[in-house]
Structure 1
């Protein structure tokens, strides 16, 4: 059985309190109440001050493989925000940001759009060149 990752976060700040991780095999999915009784960091808090986001199994796999850690949840979009280790300065904390995998998807979409726009502009420039050439031929006849 595949158990999905649960992210428990502070409802005021979005800071992650507990990431349960995802599990595969002989595991049983737990309820919110069971998690509050199992994890000390949750049991020390009032349940109504904590939000929970459950991720699909395997989501953000490339982000986790690259050392990414969910440190906050965007309170407006409820999307997880990651920090990634800086290979040149691992001690300096970085600001949480959207998952790199999501940023890559957005850039790929933007690249496709820009390529289409570039192609359309190229075709238009070719057309304008042809029109100018035709006009020049008519003028010099």
Structure 2
């Protein structure tokens, strides 16, 4: 069994080609030169400007399944996986916004009630001060 190969631009780290894993027990790993003959995307490039990373069979399998893209860090040679950002469905977003809206309406009603109570207290205190001749 042979793992994937990641061919990438040495200057940028952009991945050019990811060769598939070979599942056969008798699978033979190809050389960089053979891959440049087999794959048109490689044949169109100067081999001196292309790097390759040979992975073990099954290495990073979960990452390749869930990542949106992969790039190579040109300084360290490490793979950089980019994962999709989770966005809830529109119906979930609407439900969340409806709940938030209901909560805000309740809070708003409570605040209006408290304002009404404070106005009544203020009016009562003002009346008491007027009766005592303070204002």
CA distance in 2, matches of 1:84, 1:78: 19
The corresponding residue for 1:28 is 28
Which one has more relative contact order, counting CA pairs under 8 Å at least 6 apart?
2
Matches within 5 A, 1:115-126: none
The corresponding residue for 2:9 is 10
Q: CA deviation at 1:69?
A: 4.8
The corresponding residue for 2:45 is 45
Local SS of the residue matching 2:85: coil
> Contact 2:8 / 2:16 at 8 angstroms: preserved in 1?
yes
- CA RMSD after TM alignment: 1.8
Structure having the higher Rg: 2
Higher-helix-fraction structure:
2
> Contact 1:70 / 1:80 at 8 angstroms: preserved in 2?
no
5+ residue gaps, structure 2, are: 89-135
Runs of 4+ in 1 over 6 A off after TM superposition: none
CA distance in 2, matches of 1:76, 1:24: 31
The corresponding residue for 1:60 is 60
CA distance in 2, matches of 1:81, 1:70: 8
CA distance in 1, matches of 2:68, 2:29: 22
CA distance in 2, matches of 1:52, 1:70: 17
Local SS of the residue matching 2:41: helix
The corresponding residue for 1:72 is 71
